[in-house]
Amino acid sequence: MLPVDDVETSAALARVRAFLLEELGNADLPLAAAFVPTEFHELIPLAEQFGVGDDPAREIAIDMMPASFVEWGAQLIARHREALDEWLLDGEWNDERNSFACLLQAFDYATTVPVHSNVVSLEAVKALRALLRDDDE
Number of residues in the chain: 137
114 three-class SS: coil
Predicted local confidence at residue 120, as pLDDT: 54
* Beta-strand runs (E) in 11-101: none
State residue 116's pLDDT score.
47
Report d(CA 36, CA 52) in Å as an integer: 17
- The pLDDT value recorded for residue 115 is 46
Using alpha carbons, select from 114, 103, 118, 39 the residue that is nearest to residue 73. 103
- 10-residue stretch averages of pLDDT, the chain, 137 residues long: 76 93 91 97 96 92 91 94 95 95 94 60 63 64
Supply the DSSP symbol for 40.
G
Neighbours of 7 (CB within 10 A): 8
| pLDDT attached to residue 72 | 92
Between CA 59 and CA 112 the distance in angstroms is 12
Give pLDDT, residue 124: 63
Show the 3-state SS of 40-61.
Answer: HHHHHHHHHHHCCCCHHHHHHH
Asked whether the beta carbons of 16 and 64 are under 8 A apart, the reply is yes
